[in-house]
Structure 1
Amino acid sequence: MSGEFDGLVAVVTGGASGIGRAVAEELSARGARVAVLDVKGTEFVCDVTDDGAVRGAVAAVAGRFGRIDVLVNNAGIGAQGSVAGNDDAEWLRVLDVNVVGIARVTRAALPYLRESPYAAVVNTCSIAATAGLPQRALYSASKGAVLALTRAMAADHLGEGIRVNCVTPGTVDTPWVGRLVDAAPDPQAERVALAARQPHGRLVAPEEVAHAVAYLASPRAGSTTGIELPVDGGMSGLRLRPVTS
């Protein structure tokens, strides 16, 4: 691999599975030393809704590796239903993980990022932030907040040499999506429908998202900040004509 991350330390939240795991593996393959933060299954156990746990985990990473250069805020949870489909407790739970969790981890990492000549933050957003999807009101609200937060963070920290961007995947073939498919009345039909929603006709691979994250985090992307990078098979920008026989 190119090794553009040689000597750099990356923190990936929610990195034990799915997109986060693919990101951790990609950054490691490109030369980074990667610390995975997750609620289980990793050396740096961390619940992003617990400020004390977040600060402790970030300090432990910095103590182990001596620096933090890249932060990938990937930890997140899903939600289904219309605006009336979840009670207040569920709204607060999802927003706490998906939005405030980003703020907590970034806040804890800022002192270390400020010391890096190649500081970059990449947030995992979603196509749900920019396209109205049925039965995703709460999830869409949380990811819309992530998009706005990304831009605000980019503005706040540009002067400190910290780049902030986000990646906006379409429907990715992750364990969470797999569970949604399995719970559907007709799992095969549900998978076909989810695949067809993307113009290129299939689910997005986690590795494809990881490549986009690696670009945004790379020192080679030093003039890229405050953007959303779609990885959605054309869903956000293409309006294809229906295929007729």
Structure 2
Amino acid sequence: MITAKQLGQGYGRHIVFRSLDLELQPGVTALLGPNGAGKTTLLRTLATVQPPREGRLTIDGREVKSEAEARAARRQIGFLPQRFGYEPGMRVRDFVRYGAWLRGIPPRDWSSASATALDHVGLANEARKKMGSLSGGMRQRAAIAWAVVGKPRFVVLDEPTVGLDPQQRFRFRDIIAGLTDTTILLSTHLIDDVDAVCDRIVVMHEGKIRFAGLTDELKALDDPSAPGHTPLERAYVSLLPEEGRNR
């Protein structure tokens, strides 16, 4: 379980969010919100990439108060940013092994952990290919394997389906559904993906949480007068002030 209490974050004099409370449990939680809502900053903070300015962050019952505690927590965190780096000449299996090394997995387990992760995303037969030779969809699946290698207990994904075609997105949904006993936080703008795979939803706007609860609970807030084609879309949009709906 991940718990944030009175969490605050910002850059220089700019405050992104403050006094934010959030609790994440095993399963898939969607993080929704317009551009500029503070989603990416929140993901980076929860993944311990960026220490909070204020408040408490607790992961599996242990408060993260120092860089040493953050490094220890990262062994159980798989974080995939929206723009991830890779060496085009690196083989897929080595790219995933690099993720295992970063997470502190013992060297003796790199090969087996990487093979398991690649098999999970359907890239076992592409392990010897170079990252630069992969299609966009395959490269994104390799990145997901990088994030889940070693079976971390907490997986953070920032816009993982951007640029994927419908078939690739369907495969992504299957991959996420197969990550059992894992706490997954998924930031996306694609409401149909949320409806398909997410148990819970957090809606964020201007650094504040407008909703946190079960997907069905948000659907129950359906406002027929709001823009959108489904109950979930309309309920989500109805939570945003007018100026936030067009971002």
Q: TM-score range, shorter-chain basis?
A: 0.3 to 0.5
Q: Between the two structures, name the one with larger relative contact order (CA 8 Å, sep ≥ 6).
A: 2
Kindly indicate which of the two structures has a greater share of residues assigned to helix.
1
TM-score, normalised to structure 1, is 0.34
TM-score, normalised to structure 2, is 0.34
